[in-house]
A = this chain, B = another copy of it.
Amino acid sequence: MKTNDDSGEQPRKRGRPRSEASRRAVLDTALDLVQECGGGGITIEAIARKAGVGKQTIYKWWGGTSGIFLEILRENASRGIDDLSAEHDLGSFLASTFQSLHPPVRLILKALMAEAVLDSTLREKFVNEFIMQRRAALSRVLRRAPGLIIKDEALVIDLVFGFMWYRLLLDLGPLDTAEGKRLAAELLGQGSR
What string of 1s and 0s marks CB contacts (under 8 Å) between A29-51 and chain B? 00000000011100000000000
Assess whether B116 is in contact with A152, with CB atoms less than 8 Å apart: no
A86 CB-CB contact with B under 8 Å: no
In the complex, what distance in Å separates the CA atom of A110 from the CA atom of B152?
Answer: 27
Q: How many residues on the A side are at the interface (Cβ–Cβ under 8 A)?
A: 44
In the complex, what distance in Å separates the CA atom of A123 from the CA atom of B113?
Answer: 14
A105 CB-CB contact with B under 8 Å: no
Binds B, one of A20-28, A91-99, A137-145, A156-164: A156-164
A169 CB-CB contact with B under 8 Å: yes
Hey, which chain B residues are within 8 Å of A162, CB to CB? 159, 161-167
Contacts A159-B163, A162-B164, A166-B166 known; A120 to B38 CB distance under 8 Å? yes
Binds B, one of A3-11, A69-77, A183-191: A183-191
In the complex, what distance in Å separates the CA atom of A149 from the CA atom of B165?
Answer: 22
**A-B contacts, 10 listed (Cβ < 8 Å):** A114-B118, A117-B169, A131-B170, A150-B187, A151-B186, A151-B193, A158-B166, A159-B162, A163-B163, A165-B166
Nearest first, the 3 closest Cβ-Cβ pairs linking A and B are A162-B162, A40-B118, A162-B166
Which A residues are closer than 8 A to B by beta carbons? 38-40, 110-111, 113-120, 123, 126-127, 131, 149-152, 154-155, 158-159, 161-167, 169-173, 182-183, 186-187, 189, 191, 193
